[in-house]
Amino acid sequence: MGAPGVEAFETTPPGGNGHVGRSLRRKEDPRLITGRAHYVDDLTLPNTLYAAIVRSPEAHAKIVSIDTTVAREQPGIEAVFTAEDLGDEVAPTPMVWAPKGVDIFVPDHYPLAKGKVGYVGQAVAVVLGSDKYGVVDAAGLVEVEYDPLPVVVDPEAALEDGSPLVHDEYGTNKVFEWSLAGGDVEAAFADSDVVVEKRIVNHRTAGAAIEPRGVLADWREGKMTLWSATQIPHIVRVILSIQLGITEDKIRVVAPEVGGGFGSKLQVYGEEVLACWASRRLDRPVKWTATRSEEMLVTHHGRDQIDYVRLGAKKDGSVTAIHAKVIQDCGSYHLIEGPVIPTFTACVISGCYDFKAVQTDIVGVFTNKFTTDAIRGAGRPEATHLIELSMDALAEELGMDPLELRRKNFLKEFPNARPHGFLYDSGNYDGTLDGCLEMLDLEGFRREQAELRDRGVYRGVGFSTYVEICGLGPSRALGPDGWGMQGGYFESAQVRVHPTGSVTVYSGTSPHGQGLETAFAQIVADRLGVDPEIVDVIHGDTNTGPFGKNTYGSRSMSVGGEAIARAAEKVQDKAKRIVAHKLEAAPEDIELAEGRFQVRGSPDKGMTLAEVSGEAYIPGDLPEGMEAGLDEMCFYDPDNFVWPAGAHACVSEVDVETGRVDVVRYIAFDDCGRAINPRLIDGQIHGGIVHALGQAIYEQVVYDADGQLITGTFVDYALPSAADVPSFETGRIETPSPTNTLGVKGVGEAATIACSPAVVASVIDALKPLGVTDINMPLSPLRVWQAIQAAQGKGEGPARTEQGKEGGMS
């Protein structure tokens, strides 16, 4: 029996290895289920000042004056600061995507607005005081006079001549244009028998982690410590260093327990910089925690693409070319990487299919809304959505079964070079679709569907066969000379065996709910012949372990886990040399079995890891020239991305009287390469489905025409509850990735990338008898009802679906 924290659900013997592939219970959970975890808002320091931020109620305005006099006079208020106080001490947010040969407008975005505001919620002043409630009272007494300017919220309107300008100095609202193509697209379209065209709106959503953002900054003895609810402590440190002009040796960033991220905490926010600056200015700790309304206003949003798609095919269903023109609403200012997000749509524009030519043209647009940036999937859910719904439309046009169309065009040979320069590493797309259909029983469903329709019940099924690019990533491909990201995308690991044989692993990733403390321990346990219960995983603190690149893009296992595996292999190699020396055998004859390093063929001769580490740390008799200690590091930079794939099916029922959509079955059959801990994989899939199902049916960030955020709380932003979703059916095959030694791909975003087109297609299938052939998300009752009315010729169809024109309030 293992100690609490690591108990197997399966009955396979623990032994010295074989932990990988087992659904071990999480090491993380005891602190989380007993209320003993420490999220940032749980932390306090002596003499802490609380911060409350005064935010703009205007979407676009000149700041005429700010009067802080009354606020400053309130009891317990220590200071009130505006941009004037910041002066030149804080640099604007550096936006880290700078591709060669592409001009991108990057307006200066400061933690406190200088002279004008460009979105509702923009920080204008900060009030600091000793009482949590008192600072909020005082913030309400800061008087700001605004001179409103014209507002634009619709990205297509923003591109028209005569539109109000978000930033006058550029003379346009166009942020950038960027294209990626491969093959002769126009020739391929000319050679096509059928071309389908669609306009798809992929609306704005929120990450909506249940833990709001928060920071605690402590400047003391010339050093800064920042505790922040972030996915990227190491990156925050680099950027704080740039923005505050403090060298990195004097900055420590800690991501304590983090209550979900979903990309929304893959960011460096103004409040992080501001809290540090204020702590240094006042020489006291400064704490700020977002309210949910602040979270909805100024934690970056995701999606918000309008996609114009063309997809060509021959009469027999062979696809020829796909072209997507993507209009990306960037909001009024950038944070660290917003503009790059739609380019990830381009990476997977070929989907699972053998397109001979592909092209993606992206236009980024300024509007008077908050920044868009990475939210779970980040550009790839948008790709799957437009590809899969276009494939369905093509099948309809050809009179072909949509699954037959997919199978006909599936890539079957791997590795597979796509026309736009990417190399899919491995895959078995027929295998995942077979698995999905076996679980679904499509024939049975069609019979049930027909019977139900006779009784006036409208059920439909929709499919999504997807591929995603993840495991960010090869630095040479992503970095300054490639994609243009100003950074490396390796991951670091350190595996330290202690003198008595237990192990501490430092990972440069920064997990926040994924269960990687457990999964990483399984990987190391197998390589060192110990139980995972004595392998502790440390992460999320820049003062421990090497510089890392943190957690996003489904990279933690395929890059971070691989780095750990490689560091553990180095420890294993050294251990084998020590054992060989002690037992007078050749290092290549030492094998790890049954939890011991043994001489091959002589299992009676061997040493445990504890015995080896004893030798390493009491180095009386080590091999000639060997250093003491048993502690190895690895920086792993992958050669390629990894390419998970799968097939999802959604069965939904539509109440045609009210337009209400209920998902009644959902089947996810995925291939994320080798499974390290299957239970954790299923958990990622379940959560990923609901994230996208939320977008498909319930969730939408809505601004009105004046740029006011309508969905500023969970009353208005409809996060799905347990009562809104069914239980899920999951299945899996494992096609190992050849990119890394673990054979893993990544699963954190998979289901979110897969799900939304399956939901939409299921509703279209359900409403086919009523003539509905197309509908945009979110599938609110009003919108579905309108689509039915329009198809029946009873009235207007859905209004065009840009932000602000049709709300998610319905």
Partner 1 sequence: MARMVRVAVNVNGVERSADVEPRLLLVHFLRETLGLTGTHVGCDTSNCGACTVHLDGEAVKSCTVLTVQADGAEVKTIEGMGREGDLHPVQEAFWAEHGLQCGYCTPGMIMASADLLARNPDPTEADVREALAGNLCRCTGYHNIVKAVLAAAGEMRGASAQRTGEEVTA
* Least distance from partner 1 to the Cβ atom of residue 3, Å: 11
Give me the sign of the Cα torsion angle 708, 713, 718, 720: positive
348 touches 323 (CB < 8 A): no
**Among 111, 118, 473, 513, interactor with partner 1 by CB under 8 A:** 513
Alpha-carbon span 723 to 531, nearest angstrom: 40
- Residue 19 or 576 with smaller CB distance to partner 1: 19
364 touches 330 (CB < 8 A): yes
**Among 721, 793, 794, 796, interactor with partner 1 by CB under 8 A:** 721
Size of the site for partner 1 (CB under 8 A): 61
**Positions in 313-372 near partner 1 (CB under 8 A):** none
Q: Does 3 bind partner 1 (CB under 8 A)?
A: no
- Residue 274 or 725 with smaller CB distance to partner 1: 725
**Among 199, 679, 768, 805, interactor with partner 1 by CB under 8 A:** 679
Q: Does 603 bind partner 1 (CB under 8 A)?
A: no
**Positions in 116-155 near partner 1 (CB under 8 A):** 132-133
| SS3 per-residue string spanning 380-394 | HHHHHHHHHHHHHHH
Residue span binding partner 1 (CB under 8 A) among the ranges 55-63, 241-249, 257-265, 573-581? 257-265
58-87 footprint of partner 1 as x/- string (CB under 8 A): -----------------x------------
Residue 401 CB contacts under 8 Å (≥ 6 apart), including other chains? 395
Residue span binding partner 1 (CB under 8 A) among the ranges 235-243, 279-287, 543-551, 688-696? 688-696
507 touches 537 (CB < 8 A): yes
Cis bond leading into 415, ω under 30°?
A: yes
Q: Does 25 bind partner 1 (CB under 8 A)?
A: yes
- Residue 622 or 692 with smaller CB distance to partner 1: 692
120 touches 57 (CB < 8 A): yes
- Residue 323 or 376 with smaller CB distance to partner 1: 376
* Least distance from partner 1 to the Cβ atom of residue 587, Å: 40
Q: Where are the alpha helices (DSSP H) in 350-428?
A: 380-398, 402-409
Positions of E strands within 334-382: 357-366
* Least distance from partner 1 to the Cβ atom of residue 720, Å: 8
**Among 252, 512, 555, 596, interactor with partner 1 by CB under 8 A:** 512
DSSP 8-state class, residue 560:
I
Q: Does 308 bind partner 1 (CB under 8 A)?
A: no
How far are the Cα atoms of 68, 568, 602, 627 from residue 590, in angstroms, in the given order? Answer: 73, 16, 10, 20
Instruction: Bin 285: left if φ > 0, else alpha if -120 < ψ < 50, else beta.
Output: beta
**Among 260, 738, 781, 807, interactor with partner 1 by CB under 8 A:** 260
Residue 494 CB contacts under 8 Å (≥ 6 apart), including other chains? 505, 506, 545, 546, 567, 631, 632, 633, 634
**Among 12, 15, 33, 441, interactor with partner 1 by CB under 8 A:** 33
- Residue 30 or 245 with smaller CB distance to partner 1: 30
**Positions in 607-666 near partner 1 (CB under 8 A):** none
- Residue 294 or 392 with smaller CB distance to partner 1: 294
DSSP 8-state class, residue 558:
I
Residue span binding partner 1 (CB under 8 A) among the ranges 12-20, 345-353, 512-520, 653-661? 512-520
Residue 624 CB contacts under 8 Å (≥ 6 apart), including other chains? none
Q: Does 39 bind partner 1 (CB under 8 A)?
A: yes
Question: Which residues, listed in sequence order, are joined to residue 642 by a DSSP beta bridge?
Answer: 470
Residue span binding partner 1 (CB under 8 A) among the ranges 382-390, 435-443, 575-583, 680-688? 680-688
**Positions in 177-216 near partner 1 (CB under 8 A):** 208-212
Residue 18: how many other CB atoms lie within 10 Å: 13
- Residue 577 or 679 with smaller CB distance to partner 1: 679
**Positions in 282-301 near partner 1 (CB under 8 A):** 289, 291-293
Residue span binding partner 1 (CB under 8 A) among the ranges 255-263, 303-311, 568-576, 605-613? 255-263
Q: Does 725 bind partner 1 (CB under 8 A)?
A: yes
- Residue 128 or 668 with smaller CB distance to partner 1: 668
How far are the Cα atoms of 81, 130, 656 from residue 86, in angstroms, in the given order? Answer: 8, 21, 57
**Among 515, 532, 540, 561, interactor with partner 1 by CB under 8 A:** 515
Residue span binding partner 1 (CB under 8 A) among the ranges 102-110, 303-311, 508-516, 757-765? 508-516
Q: Does 223 bind partner 1 (CB under 8 A)?
A: no
Q: Does 600 bind partner 1 (CB under 8 A)?
A: no
* Least distance from partner 1 to the Cβ atom of residue 69, Å: 21
When computed from its CA atoms, the radius of gyration of the chain, rounded to whole angstroms, is 27
- Residue 257 or 491 with smaller CB distance to partner 1: 257
**Among 61, 95, 113, 258, interactor with partner 1 by CB under 8 A:** 258
Residue span binding partner 1 (CB under 8 A) among the ranges 138-146, 253-261, 630-638, 649-657? 253-261
- Residue 284 or 512 with smaller CB distance to partner 1: 512
- Residue 132 or 220 with smaller CB distance to partner 1: 132
Tokens standing for residue 658? 């009210």
Alpha-carbon span 672 to 514, nearest angstrom: 15
- Residue 77 or 347 with smaller CB distance to partner 1: 77
Q: Does 1 bind partner 1 (CB under 8 A)?
A: no
**What residue type is assigned to position 638 of the chain?**
P
Alpha-carbon span 17 to 7, nearest angstrom: 15
802 touches 306 (CB < 8 A): yes
For the chain, how many residues are written?
Answer: 810
**Positions in 396-415 near partner 1 (CB under 8 A):** none
* Least distance from partner 1 to the Cβ atom of residue 724, Å: 8
Residue 17 CB contacts under 8 Å (≥ 6 apart), including other chains? 525, 526, 527, 529, 592, 593, 595
Residue 345 CB contacts under 8 Å (≥ 6 apart), including other chains? 305, 307, 324, 326, 360, 362, 379, 380, 382, 383, 386
- Residue 631 or 682 with smaller CB distance to partner 1: 682
Degrees, nearest 5: CA angle 426-432-436 = 170
Residue span binding partner 1 (CB under 8 A) among the ranges 378-386, 584-592, 701-709, 723-731? 723-731
Residue among 16, 319, 299, 55 nearest 195 (CA): 319
How far are the Cα atoms of 32, 175, 176, 330, 349 from residue 363, in angstroms, in the given order? Answer: 43, 7, 6, 10, 16
Degrees, nearest 5: CA angle 231-257-238 = 35
Q: Does 690 bind partner 1 (CB under 8 A)?
A: yes
Q: Does 255 bind partner 1 (CB under 8 A)?
A: no
**Binding-site ranges for partner 1 (CB under 8 A):** 4, 9, 25-26, 28-39, 41-42, 75, 132-133, 208-212, 257-260, 262, 289, 291-293, 512-515, 679-680, 682-683, 685-691, 713-715, 719, 721-725, 727-728
